[in-house]
């Protein structure tokens, strides 16, 4: 770095900080919350999904966010791929965490887990459907969400 660059950076920094002293001190930041495993964090955000771990069928409309009984948010959009045809891109949200998944004819009924919840496509929709169904259920063991190990029997027997 040249001296000119250093002096310019220092000058910009001093200018950005200003010469006025703050009239009051900012309150101290609260201590960070203790970190929790994702499944426990999802459970803390809403009702305990393992209190009654029953599968539900969600009716979704393209572009409209739907909230599950467990506080997860789900929506989808239609994506056109010239080689593979249309697919559905699902967005799942839990707090600040987000996850996307693509579904098409080949993987429509495949079970997938995210943050302790198992989901799959419901009845196969018509091509580029603006409304469709998915099935979702919490994956529970001993009354707690389980993230590892797949769906098990959360959506019924294999």
Beta bridge partners of 67: 73
pLDDT of residue 40: 47
- Number of domains forming the structure of the chain: 1
Task: Give the structural domain span for 131.
Answer: 57-145
- Token pair recorded at residue 94: 């839990």
Is the pTM higher than 0.75? The answer reads no
Please tell me whether residue 72 adopts helix, strand or coil conformation.
coil
Q: Report pLDDT digits (tens) over 42-53.
A: 444 557 899 888
In a domain, 139, yes or no: yes
Q: Per-residue confidence at 12, pLDDT binned at 50, 70, 90? A: very low
In a domain, 26, yes or no: no
pLDDT > 70? residue 90: yes
pLDDT of residue 133: 95
| Position with higher pLDDT, 28 vs 15 | 28
* C-alpha to C-alpha distance for 23 and 41, rounded to whole angstroms: 39
In a domain, 103, yes or no: yes
In a domain, 9, yes or no: no
What's the chain's average pLDDT? Answer: 77
In a domain, 34, yes or no: no
Query: Which range is least confidently modeled, 13-22, 108-117, 132-141?
Result: 13-22
In a domain, 67, yes or no: yes
Half-sphere exposure of 6 (CA within 13 A, CB side): 3
- Helix-strand-coil percent breakdown of the chain, rounded to 5? 15, 35, 50
In a domain, 52, yes or no: no
């Amino acid at each position: 770095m040249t001296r000119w660059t250093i002096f310019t950076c220092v000058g910009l920094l001093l200018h950005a900080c200003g010469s006025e002293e703050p009239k009051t001190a900012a309150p101290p930041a609260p201590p960070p919350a203790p970190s929790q495993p994702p499944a426990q964090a999802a459970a803390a955000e809403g009702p305990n999904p393992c209190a009654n771990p029953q599968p539900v069928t969600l009716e979704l409309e393209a572009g409209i966010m739907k909230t599950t009984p467990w506080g997860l948010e789900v929506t989808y959009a239609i994506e056109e791929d010239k080689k593979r045809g249309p697919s559905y891109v699902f967005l799942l949200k839990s707090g600040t965490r987000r996850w996307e998944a693509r579904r098409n004819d080949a993987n429509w009924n495949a079970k997938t887990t995210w943050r302790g919840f198992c989901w799959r496509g419901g009845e196969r929709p018509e091509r580029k459907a603006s409304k469709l169904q998915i099935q979702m259920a919490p994956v529970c063991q001993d009354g707690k969400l389980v993230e590892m190990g797949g769906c098990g029997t959360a959506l019924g027997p294999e």
